[in-house]
Structure 1
Amino acid sequence: MGPGPINADPRVLRAMSAPLLGQYDPAMTAYMTETQELYRQVFRTANDATLLVDGTSRSGIEAVLVSLLEPGDRVLVPVFGRFGHLLKEIAERCLAEVHVIEAEWGTVFEPEQLEAAIVEVRPKVLALVQGDTSTTMCQPLADVGEICRRHGVLFYSDVTASLGGNAFEMDGWGLDAATAGLQKCLAGPSGSAPTSLSDAAVEVIRSRKHVEAGIRESSDDLDEEATIRPRIRSNYFDLGMILDYWGPRRLNHHTEASSMLYGARECARLLVNEGMGTAIERHRLHGAAILAGVQGLGLEVFGDVAHKMNNVVAVEIPAGLDGDGARSAMLHDFGIEIGTSFGPLHGRVWRIGTMGYNARHDAVLGTLAALEQVLRGGGLSPVPGGGVAAAKEVYAG
């Protein structure tokens, strides 16, 4: 019950146990096509370039940034938690000119702040996390795409922690690139990075030289502009080549991680069958229940609750209580894992997740009951049954 990874849905694990197929078996390529269509519905997009990058969620982030950014390109990274710093680091490794604006942890950016920074920096790409689990904040994105369009900026968001449990409209909000992972609201294991790219992003990627030297027969195989543009600096994360692999030509790039594809396909299938709106409401309901529950135990919540993600809450560790000892007791006495956080919040808060397969009544109520006993064992005096009672009030409507 931490901020992720979470328990995978048993149906996802069962799908991953299916026999392996060759990557050009007609059944396998059909699964790839089905997976692309399912993730178009998850991302809420019509983008043809919707696919999986084989690797953890960070692989999708790196693939997008290394494929969009050339050395010297300006990128603006608004940072309001740990994972904005990650986008900054990866962009720096792409040799981009990285500009950062920061918001206090526990808050988010207003559209006016983002537009002012865009006007000042004039970046090629805005790279912005939607949900940052380090602070539990969910950055509003609905107005950002239109701002980026007005100023000719490509808009990328890392939605690893938020997709499937919080509203996200790729096309409706004007995003050019988005990447995710399975291990949060998508109810799967880490190891696959669903990714979607707009036509504008694909055009930028296609303009980069990604044909390997020695494979083309002559320089005529690349147009004049491509020959003078820097090649994408990674082979594995070259989205131009990965697009060819997932596209109708099925050009070989790497051996597909078949079991992960089965799992990613099942994650999306379950969400689509549930209905994206229904899944988001499920996460909102259980997130509201755990929030009310920890408050019912007398605990303080970190950050601006109005901008909290549906699927994780940060709880201030009470003064005088051994936070790590309490987490250890939760794990060893009750078999429930909760997390701490990073940087300035390490040892200051617990993070409790209600996401994916764990966005359930029994998981929420069991966690609150266990936490009450751990608090009492640590010398505190929470209201008997206060957490469970508060959560049940939420469920009762």
Structure 2
Amino acid sequence: MYDLDIHNFKQINPPHRLLMGPGPINADPRVLRAMSTQLVGQYDPAMTHYMNEVMQLYRGLFQTENRWTMLVDGTSRAGIEAILVSSIQPGDRVLVPVFGRFGQLLCEIARRCRAEVHTIEVPWGQVFDPQHIEDAIVKVRPKLLLTVQGDTSTTMLQPLQELGEICRRHDVLLYTDATASFGGNELKVDEWKIDAVSAGLQKCLAGPSGSSPITLNDRFEEVIRRRKCVEEGIRTDAHVQGDDEFIYSNYFDLGMIMDYWGPERLNHHTEATTMLFGARECARIILQEGLTETIARHELHGNALLAGIQHMGLNTFGDLEHRMNNVLGVEIPENIHGEEVRQMLLNDFSIEIGTSFGPLQGKIWRIGTMGYNARKDCVLQTLTALEAVLNKLGFSTKQGEAMQAAWNVYASAMKGENS
């Protein structure tokens, strides 16, 4: 028998951290309270009522009338995979504009769906001009354009406003991964003619990872339903003609998930009740504040952080005109060991900032101001601690300039509100 001393396992009591990286962030206490409530049965009228409320609330956040606005149980990658596996057939051409790690992820998942994947690329730190994307669409003639709105690996925000119209002209479906940007940057699903979007809770929505809000329009639903109809005739024989139409994932089959969330309530899985309660509270809090106000809050604190970093004498990464409101790339100064700075911030100040990977590994930090941590006190604490650590390690700054620059941003915003 396995010898296990249960007394060695104490109650979970993680250390206090101020999470100022690219996500996850500290969850809003109201979300944690919602998640601590007792469970109900998955077909209890109270539960199905909450499910319907979640659909309504997220329509508000996505700014859409899409009927199929719901949750996929799992991290934000679950939403990505559900959308791609349910829409891509083997041999389909897809086009992916890659400007960071998460464009590469879309390519990887699409290849697993046996798509014919085409890419266009720009250097990390830049975004695509819409004409560049349209030229590639004309050349490739894809079924889907797979985009990332905000890529935390580069901190860049890809403009989407023109892409929906471009895709409609060329009969292409437009999907975007808005995990990192949703709730802190403008995203108008219907107005911008985006066919499908997936997101996550652990960044601007001020929740934990574990639930992926998605929205699908009628064009996208038609593709999913058409595949579902074909599946029903081929499940008994994996080699019959038409097998390429089969959706190979049961868990991520959006046709079945839609039947579960719809009035039929056809059993597909046991809904992650606690995560649903948390996702509902994330959306409720933002809509109570006002979506426009929430985005403005992210912009304000992102601008304050930017001003502080610049006046600390640090260089920022990438095209600042197209940076996300909620994550900033900061170049690591010469003769400063980036990981040493991160460890000192964590161990001495209990503040976490992000490292990077790929071509940016060891070259930049990523500092987030998002969700519950898009607050003045969080920004000022982070600037103060970072400046102290840098000075200790030999990077000289003019004391007080960073803080004053951030304060000036806040003062200017207050003056604008009162004028």
> Number of residues paired by the alignment?
390
Q: Does 1:40 align with 2:59?
A: yes
- Call closer, same or farther: CA 1:70–1:211 in 2, change over 3 Å: closer
Once residues 6 and 109 of structure 1 are traced to their aligned partners in structure 2, the CA distance between those partners, rounded to angstroms, is 28
Once residues 380 and 124 of structure 1 are traced to their aligned partners in structure 2, the CA distance between those partners, rounded to angstroms, is 51
Is this contact kept in 2: 1:148–1:155, CA < 8 A?
Answer: yes
- Call closer, same or farther: CA 1:172–1:213 in 2, change over 3 Å: closer
Letter in 2 for 1:240: G
Once residues 355 and 390 of structure 2 are traced to their aligned partners in structure 1, the CA distance between those partners, rounded to angstroms, is 16
What TM-score does the superposition give when structure 1 sets the normalisation length?
Answer: 0.96
In structure 2, stretches of 5+ residues that fail to align are 1-19, 413-419
Is this contact kept in 1: 2:231–2:247, CA < 8 A?
Answer: no
Once residues 213 and 176 of structure 1 are traced to their aligned partners in structure 2, the CA distance between those partners, rounded to angstroms, is 25
CA deviation map 1:218-255 (0-9, x unaligned)? 99xxxxxx977621111000000000000010100001
Once residues 202 and 53 of structure 2 are traced to their aligned partners in structure 1, the CA distance between those partners, rounded to angstroms, is 20
- Shift of residue 212 of structure 1? 7.3
- Shift of residue 214 of structure 1? 10
Is this contact kept in 1: 2:99–2:124, CA < 8 A?
Answer: yes
Q: Does 1:239 align with 2:254?
A: yes
User: Larger deviation: 384-393 or 318-327?
Assistant: 384-393
Once residues 318 and 296 of structure 1 are traced to their aligned partners in structure 2, the CA distance between those partners, rounded to angstroms, is 14
- Call closer, same or farther: CA 1:124–1:257 in 2, change over 3 Å: same
Letter in 2 for 1:320: N
Q: Does 1:202 align with 2:221?
A: yes
- Call closer, same or farther: CA 1:21–1:215 in 2, change over 3 Å: farther
- Call closer, same or farther: CA 1:33–1:133 in 2, change over 3 Å: same
| 1:300 paired residue number | 315
| 1:223 paired residue number | none
Is this contact kept in 2: 1:210–1:231, CA < 8 A?
Answer: no
Is this contact kept in 1: 2:90–2:244, CA < 8 A?
Answer: no
CA deviation map 1:64-114 (0-9, x unaligned)? 000010000000000000000000000000000000000110000001000
CA deviation map 1:349-391 (0-9, x unaligned)? 0000000000000000000000010001111111101211110
Letter in 1 for 2:93: R
Q: Does 1:145 align with 2:164?
A: yes
Once residues 25 and 381 of structure 1 are traced to their aligned partners in structure 2, the CA distance between those partners, rounded to angstroms, is 62
| 1:52 paired residue number | 71
Letter in 2 for 1:47: N
1:81 to 97, 100, 108: 100
Once residues 79 and 131 of structure 2 are traced to their aligned partners in structure 1, the CA distance between those partners, rounded to angstroms, is 28
In structure 1, stretches of 5+ residues that fail to align are 220-225
Once residues 231 and 142 of structure 2 are traced to their aligned partners in structure 1, the CA distance between those partners, rounded to angstroms, is 29
| 1:63 paired residue number | 82
Once residues 232 and 370 of structure 2 are traced to their aligned partners in structure 1, the CA distance between those partners, rounded to angstroms, is 45
> What secondary structure sits across from 1:209 in the alignment?
helix
Is this contact kept in 2: 1:302–1:314, CA < 8 A?
Answer: yes
Q: Does 1:24 align with 2:43?
A: yes
Q: Does 1:8 align with 2:6?
A: no
Q: Does 1:166 align with 2:185?
A: yes
Q: Pairwise CA RMSD of aligned residues?
A: 1.7
| 1:222 paired residue number | none
Identity in percent: 65
Q: Does 1:393 align with 2:408?
A: yes
- Shift of residue 209 of structure 1? 2.9
Q: Does 1:275 align with 2:294?
A: no
Letter in 1 for 2:216: L
- Call closer, same or farther: CA 1:214–1:129 in 2, change over 3 Å: closer
Letter in 2 for 1:52: L
| 1:289 paired residue number | 304
Is this contact kept in 2: 1:210–1:240, CA < 8 A?
Answer: no
